Structure 1
Amino acid sequence: MSVNFEENLVDIKGKVTAIGKGLLESNKFLLEALKDCDSEKFNEARSHIKNVSSKTDDIDNCIVKVLALYTPEATDLRHVIAYLKITNDLSRASSSTRSFIRGFTDVCADVDVETINEYAVPMQASTVRAIELALSMLNCDDADEIQELYNEVLIEENKTDDLYEMVERNLSLQADGSSSFEKFHKMLRALRKSGKVASRTISIANLLVYAKVGGTLRS
């Protein structure tokens, strides 16, 4: 494949990585914000995922041009297809992060601190770890290491599912009135968004396995 194609692919990868790093930083600040319901940290978390849709649109346009100009094949085509799909996952993960920030900001001060520390904080920590692992796959070319990283992402995503089920049961027992029920329902709805961010990392990790190792592209 031509030098120009490689330069375009490096540029696309750089843009994808930049959005991914913004998503990671946003979720790191969100993790810290949960610990003390710090409104400034919630706002800082928002600042790292601004204009994601326009950024992903720009990447998609670049990819379309690359496909039209170079008609890549084999491994090169797998990379281009993977990046095209990853932009959608990053956009959806950013949207879920914004919803989590918005939802938890409304209820954070009203929820028992012990509940947050026991469930919400470790759940968000697993989401952050899943994003970190998925991003590390972008710069990994060893097939065995790629698969190991994918498995680690899967473990962290499973943790978020398990913790969500635990907090759901716990809050259901605590909800002793209509006002409590509404408060806990809002918290669960917000936490579900954290789980959705983790789910997007599985999709991203799968796409990177496909790009770098090959095999069947799973939805």
Structure 2
Amino acid sequence: MGTKYHERINFIKDKLSLLLKDIIAADELSLEAFKSDDANKFKEVETLLAKIGLIGDEIDNEVIKTFALFGPEANELRFLITFLKMTNELISIGGGVKKYARRMSEHSKSGCTIEPFKPSILLLHKSSINALKYILECFTNIQECNYEDNYRKVLVEESMNDDLFSVLEKEILNKIIDEKELSIEYVKVLGSLRKLERSCDRSVNIANLMMYAKLGGEIKFFQ
């Protein structure tokens, strides 16, 4: 493949990197908003991610144009398939961050006692951000990245995230028993926290996609 093809690949990669940076920035802002119970910061998160769907469509269109113009061979085809699937995962993560910010802002006004869960929620949130940062670190240094090592690091964060979510789930279910009148609100809190858990699952999918692009084999998504 010629220079123009590689220019397009780098162009798409750069767009994906920018999208990932925006999602991480919004995710970190939502973490700060939760720490300080700042409704304005939660609103900023939604503003930051308002156009991610359109950005995702633009990236997908660039990938499709590259298919049409260059008819890539097998190894190049893997990267283009990866970009398409990766965009979908990133848009889902960004959408989850946006919903998390909106809902956590609402929970603070609902009468739920979230304070006892705060240390675990902060750790849960940090692990989801760490997983995304590993992805970005590898993606922006694609030539030198050790894809298998990156996958393992993301998997460690996802495992920690799963354990934290399980602990929070038990604690919140106990709270539902103690405060039956707020049971629906606590169930909603649990649903919001699941957005952080799903973010880590999707990061594992992206790390796996990156390994597939580089090494071949089969695409296996974490469910």
TM range (shorter): over 0.9
Give % identity: 29
Equivalent residues, number: 218
- The two structures have a TM-score, normalised by structure 1, of 0.93
- Name the aligned partner's letter for residue 38 of structure 1: D
Which residue of structure 1 aligns with residue 207 of structure 2? 205
Select the residue among 140, 143, 148 that pairs with 1:141.
Answer: 143
Gaps of 5+ in 2: none
**Matches for 1:188-203 after TM superposition, within 5 Å:** 188-203=190-205
Q: Distance in 2 between matches of 1:104 and 1:192?
A: 12
1:56-101 deviations in Å (ceiling 9; x for gaps): 1111111111111111113221111110111110111111111111
Q: What is the CA deviation profile of residues 24-80 of structure 1, one whole-angstrom value per residue up to 9, with x for unaligned ones?
A: 111101111111211122122223212111111111111111111111113221111
Please name the residue that 1:167 is paired with.
Answer: 168
One-letter identity of the residue aligned with 1:34: F
| Counterparts of 1:119 and 1:82, CA distance in 2 | 33
Tell me the secondary structure at the aligned position of residue 72 of structure 1.
coil
Q: Is the 8 A contact 2:107 2:189 kept in 1?
A: yes
Supply the distance in 1 between the matched residues of 2:142 and 2:70 (Cα, whole angstroms).
Answer: 25
Kindly indicate whether the alpha-carbon contact (under 8 Å) linking 2:46 and 2:101 is maintained by their aligned counterparts in 1. Answer: yes
Partner of 2:64: 64
- Structure-2 residue corresponding to 1:8: 8
Cα separation, 1, equivalents of 2:65 and 2:94 = 25
Contact conserved, 1:127 with 1:198, CA < 8 A, in 2? yes
Aligned partners of 1:18 and 1:142: how far apart in 2?
Answer: 19
Aligned to 1:156: 157
Superposition misfits of 4+ residues, deviation over 3 angstroms: 109-114
CA contact (8 A) 1:103 1:189 kept: no
Partner secondary structure for residue 140 of structure 1: coil
TM-score (normalizing by structure 2) = 0.92
> Partner of 1:90 in structure 2?
90
Distance apart, 1:130 and its partner CA: 0.6
Structure 1: where are the runs of 5+ without partners? none
Give the letter aligned to residue 75 of structure 2: T
1:128 aligns with 2:129: yes
